[in-house]
Structure 1
Amino acid sequence: MKKIGIIALMLVMQNMFAQTNRFVYQVTMKLDSTNRNDIKTENAYLDISPEKSLFYAENRIKRDSVMSKAVQSGGGPKSVRSQMESLKSNINYTVEKDKKALTTAYKDRLGRDTYLYEEDRPLNWKILSETTTIGEYKVQKAETDFAGRKWTAWFTTDLPYQDGPYKFSGLPGLIVKVEDSKGDYSFDLMKNYKIAELPNITQRGPGNIIKVKRKDYVKQQEKFRKDPVSFMTQGAPQPPRRGGDGGPGGPGGGANQAEMRKRMEERLKEETKTNNNPIELQ
């Protein structure tokens, strides 16, 4: 009986450690360098399993859920448009860290396609002696220079994960808070709980997943910022032309297409104009 009890306890302990932990961070962003009073705030998840971790926007998983329910109920994108509008996010990327391979993979959607690259810049932390308390955790200070910004992090050994939000990891505990010296970006741990397993972050919409080197992703990103409309429409299938006036749906169709394109151009240009302060400057 004693052996059975020990085995049962081991199974319970194994199950506990096999669970996925979700850490919810509040992400604060100043995306427009010309208007520093415009502060964007939203939540993001850091889901940690024994094999890997995922960092992504809370609204991303909510959008996927809304679309999944719409498909199951027979509805289409139009039926959930208002819900999707309310779940827009400024965190359009996902970061996946593989614990065994010690790799950090970054995914971001540019135009119709999603670009994937493996981070090739190591994080070199300087751990300082300064300590304090954030929430319920005793934390210690660390600093690093990464991607053109100087970052200060506070980590806790109370949570035995050498991980953190975004691409940050490699400290002797979980990062509870990390912010850059300019005050443009901040990640603050709000709460954590257990979930059954890592979610399946699916590819949205048309387009492909394109694996590239980081330097090639940076080139594509620069092209998108300079001319988002051309980037969005490159390689996109052209709608069929029908009707006497050469547009979809007959007379006036061409004019409708031109108006739609004009609205898209204005929206993309405005979004690009006000998103001029990226998290990575180099």
Structure 2
Amino acid sequence: MRKIIFFMMTFLSSLLFAQGTRIMYDYRFVPDLEKKDSTSTELMYLDIRKDGSKFYSRQKFVSDSTRDAYLQKQISMGSTNFSFNGGNPGKVGYSVTKNYPDFTTVLHTSIGDNRYSVKNENPMNWKILPEKKMISKFEVQKATVDFGGRTWTAWFTQEIPFQDGPYKFRGLPGLILEMEDSTGTHSFKFAGSKKFDEVEKVEKKDEIGSTKSGLVIKTFGMASGKEIDVSEEQFRKQWKEFKNDPVKNMRQMLSQGNMKLTMNVDGKQLTDPSEMLRAMEKSQKEDIKKNSNKIEPALYP
């Protein structure tokens, strides 16, 4: 009997991988620890394919696709004047990829104008508990883990045979449908799933005809360029430096004297480099303060 069950689970897993599956989560979090009553929400995707998964914000995906389509259209028309206003980039800028079968996990994120690829170096030491309940139509079981500076409670189901979950979480004997940290300021809740063919249709619709280009366009205030591979310790060092001086890169560029910029701040046009730097520094520090409750605080000392 056990052999039959194992065969069925293996067959189901192979079938789901062949099709591809998108798991959707409602992510609720408190960005600013000083304003715990202010909660943000984001619809997150976990796209699972045969060779791995990707976890990311739907809104950021749509925004990036819209931007790419706009830029490609301008380039094809021979224009060098870009005025894309950015649209709504969402509230979650990072993504996480996992490679199967070893579950190598990488965080893709940015600090200032630079994009980083940060390989996870910490194991997931789960404690599986006997408590069970129902989520949607699935029976789930409780598990806990200390990870990234937080204590998390997860609910996973063996009825969906993926050892994966939201963010970096993986390694349980089934898909994680819910997670919440002990402070109650970060939580993920299962919001549905789609087969691979349905995923393809949604992606094609959201991309609105965007195509790739070899041209790199630098946009101030937006991370761009090739990702920099760093260790977690190197990333922490970069974050500390950015917190101490968030306009360091811009200051260096303006000091070269061969660049003229205009900045609009509250309806006022700024052309003086010193005024611009002060305005940018103020904005960046306010943004850091408003986003003080990172999902993985161990990476952001």
TM-score, length-scaled by structure 1: 0.80
How far residue 229 of structure 1 moved from its aligned partner, in angstroms, is 2.1
The answer on 1:233 being equivalent to 2:250 is: yes
Is residue 184 of structure 2 the alignment partner of residue 168 of structure 1?
no
Report 1:232-271 matches (<5 A): 232-233=249-250, 236=253, 241=258, 255-271=271-287
Cα pair 2:17 2:48 within 8 Å, conserved: no
Following the alignment from structure 2 to structure 1, what is the Cα–Cα distance between the partners of residues 290 and 270? 31
Cα 1:207–1:111 change in 2 (3 A) is: farther
**What does residue 121 of structure 2 align with?**
120
Aligned position for 1:4: none
Q: Quickly say closer, same or farther: Cα 1:148–1:254, change in 2 above 3 A.
A: closer
Which residue pairs with 2:238 in the alignment? Answer: 220
Counterpart position of 1:94: 95
Please give the per-residue CA displacement for 1:75-129, whole angstroms capped at 9, x wherever unaligned. Answer: 8752x41xx34x2333221111011333111111112211112111000111111
Assess if the C-alpha contact under 8 Å between 2:138 and 2:157 holds in 1: yes
Inter-CA distance 216–15: structure 2 relative to 1 (3 Å threshold): same
Question: SS of the counterpart of 1:228?
Answer: coil
Q: TM-score, normalised by structure 2?
A: 0.76
Q: Report which stretch shifted further, 40-49 or 254-263.
A: 254-263
- Taking structure 1 as reference, are residues 248 and 94 closer, same or farther at Cα in structure 2, changes over 3 Å only? closer
Cα shift at 1:278:
1.4
Deviation at 1:139, TM superposition (A): 0.7
Q: Is the 8 A contact 1:55 1:166 kept in 2?
A: yes
Q: Where does residue 63 of structure 2 map in the other structure?
A: 63
Distance 2:171 2:184 in 1: 23
- Offset at residue 159 of structure 1 (A): 1.0
One-letter amino acid of the structure 2 residue matched with residue 262 of structure 1: R
CA contact (8 A) 1:149 1:181 kept: yes
> Does the CA contact (< 8 Å) of 1:241 and 1:248 recur in 2?
no
C-alpha separation in 2, matches of 1:53 and 1:226: 35
Counterpart residue number, 1:49: 49
Work out whether residues 165 and 175 of structure 1, in 8 Å CA contact, stay in contact via their aligned partners in 2: yes
Deviations 1:47-68 (A, max 9, x none): 0001000011112210122113
Asked if the contact 1:56/1:95 (under 8 Å) is kept, the reply is yes
Greater Cα offset, 69-78 or 24-33: 69-78
Contact 1:141/1:152 (8 A) holds in 2: yes
Q: Cα offset for 1:225? A: 2.3
For the Cα contact (< 8 Å) 1:112–1:208, is it kept in 2? no
> What amino acid is the match of 1:266?
K
Out of 205, 208, 215, the position equivalent to 2:226 is 208
Q: From the superposition, tell whether residues 133 and 77 of structure 1 become closer, same or farther in structure 2 (CA, over 3 Å).
A: farther
Tell me the equivalent position of 2:36. Answer: 36
- In 2, are the aligned partners of 1:21 and 1:192 still within 8 Å (CA)? yes
- C-alpha change, 1:148 and 1:162, in structure 2 (3 Å) is same
> Matches of 2:161 and 2:144 in 1, distance apart?
19
| 2:104 aligned residue | 103
Give the Å deviation of 1:221: 1.4
Instruction: Tell me, in whole angstroms, the C-alpha distance in 1 between the residues paired with 2:31 and 2:52.
Output: 29
Q: Give secondary structure in 2 for the equivalent of 1:92.
A: coil
Q: Label 1:204 to 1:94 Cα distance change in 2 as closer, same or farther (>3 A).
A: farther
Amino acid at match of 2:243: R
Letter in 1 for 2:160: L
Q: Distance in 2 between matches of 1:263 and 1:220?
A: 22
- Give the match for residue 291 of structure 2: 275
* Partner of residue 6, structure 1: none
Structure 1 gap segments, 5+ residues each:
1-12
Aligned-pair identity in percent equals: 34
Q: Distance in 1 between matches of 2:15 and 2:180?
A: 34
Q: Deviations over 1:223-253 (max 9, x none)?
A: 22232222x52664768648xxxx569xxx9
Q: Structure 2 vs 1, CA of residues 16 and 127 (structure 1 numbering), >3 Å: closer, same or farther? A: closer
Instruction: Tell me how large the CA RMSD over aligned residues is.
Output: 3.0
Distance in 1 between residues matched to 2:253 and 2:168, nearest whole Å? 32
